[in-house]
Structure formats: C-alpha cells, structure tokens
Amino acid sequence: MDMLPLVYALSNTRLLIDATHINAGNVLATQKKIWALAAHCTTSNEFIDVVPGMNSLTLYLRSSAQLTHWQRTLPALWADIKSSDFSGNHHVINTHYNGADLLSLAQFHNLTVQEVINIHCATQYHVLFLGFQPGFAYLHGLDPRLHTPRRAEPRIKVPKGAVAIGAAQTGIYPADTPGGWHIIGHSDTELFNSNNTPACLLQPGDTLAFVATHTQELAND
C-alpha cells in the first residue's frame, strides 16, 4: 500500500498536507502528486488559495465549515490521484551566457566555459515551487557536474534577470535583490508582473529549457 501524506489543520480555514516522508529518494515523483492534487483542489472552487511547497501543499479554505470534510478527504484523494492528471506549461528561456561568475565556476569544475553552457542547456528543468521573492522558481534537474557551493560573500545586489547557480539549484532572479548564487548569465524574460494573471510566469509543475542566445568570449585561464 502506498504511503499517505499527513494532513494538519493549521487554523480553522487552513490545511497543510505534508508528504516529506513519501518517496524520500525521488523528489520529483512526490512533487508531481502535489501538483496534481493542487490542480484538483483549485478546480473545486472551495479554496481562496492553493500553495504548493517542497513536498507539501497548503490550502486556504473559503469556509471553516469545510475543514473537517477536506481533512478527512485529502488522504483518499492522494491515493486516487495520478501524477499524469496534471500537465504544466513549457517555457523556453533565452539566455545570454555572460555572467560575472561564469569563468570562475567553469574553473572550479575543471570545465571550459562552453562545457558549462552546454551542460546547463542540456536539461529540461521542472519548477518545484515558488519562493524567496515573487516569481522566483526553484528548479529541479541541475546536472551534478554543475553543483557549486554558494558564494562565501553574497552580493548586495543581484540584477533582475540573472541566471545563477547555488548548490544543487539553478534559477532566475525576477527582480534586483541580494543573493549568494553564482551568476552565469542573464535573461530578459519577465518572470513577475502584478498586472498579469497569473502574476508569475513560471508555475509549479511547469518545465523550462535554457537556450543560449549569446555567449561572451571568456578565456579559461
């Protein structure tokens, strides 16, 4: 029998689904179930907001009268729902690989700049969830050859659109912000606009690919 998530009442209108103990070795499999369940709950129109997290889902009910019903129903829904019930959008992120840390990151891994670019572009990434700032997507799929410890000294300002790597993650900064990831490039793709619906371009469960549109000529020594 498949393991079921834990369901907690955080308030009289808020539920947390915790699936951190399920498929601990397969993050993406658990997230796919989270996305499918989130889509199902959204279509019920009984929630003000549905927020996928890392192996978790937070649900904000419109009415406290439905709390007990959903707390009892959600484990069964998890058992019945299939990951294939959900399909996200795919995004192509045109990227200028000219970042301030591109050369040093390549040297850290004993790779050429072009090898770093090729490896970074070779993966189809999955958006696990959004966090840190509006529109910032935590991506799954960075090749282990590019896993890089975060900078010892974070920058006070990382520019909007910076494509960067930090530890086992890669991502794009939607706005100017402090940050400790290594900047390898830049994208002009707008990730957050409060006038759009939804305001965030990338959504949990979406996929994306980085495509090199310009490469700065950098020496490797």
List pLDDT tens digits, range 118-141.
999 999 999 999 999 999 999 999
% helix, strand, coil for the chain, step of 5: 25, 35, 40
Answer yes or no: is pLDDT of 49 > 90: yes
The two structure tokens encoding residue 220: 């490797």
**C-beta of residue 165 within 8 angstroms of C-beta of residue 105:** yes
**Quick one: how many helices (H) and strands (E) in the chain?**
4, 13
* CA–CA distances in Å: residue 168 to residues 12, 58, 85, 164, 201: 37, 25, 28, 11, 23
**Residue 3 pLDDT:** 85
Percentage of the chain with pLDDT > 70? 95
pLDDT of residue 219: 41
At 47, give phi and psi (nearest 5°).
Answer: -125, 140
The CA-CA-CA angle for residues 33, 137, 200, to 5°, reads: 95
Task: Supply the pLDDT for residue 160.
Answer: 97
Label residue 192 by pLDDT band (50, 70, 90).
Answer: very high
Is residue 172 within 8 Å of 163, Cβ to Cβ? yes
Tell me the per-residue pLDDT of 69-121, one tens digit each, with 9 for 90 and over.
999 999 999 999 988 878 899 999 999 999 999 999 999 999 999 999 999 99
pLDDT of residue 220: 46
Nearest alpha carbon to residue 96 among 162, 45, 158, 154: 162
DSSP reduced 3-state for 67: helix
What CA–CA distance (Å, rounded) separates 97 from 81? Answer: 40
Report the pLDDT averaged over residues 31-57.
Answer: 94
pLDDT band at 7 (very low <50, low <70, confident <90, very high): very high
Q: What mean pLDDT is reported for the chain?
A: 93
DSSP bridge pairs for 11: 14
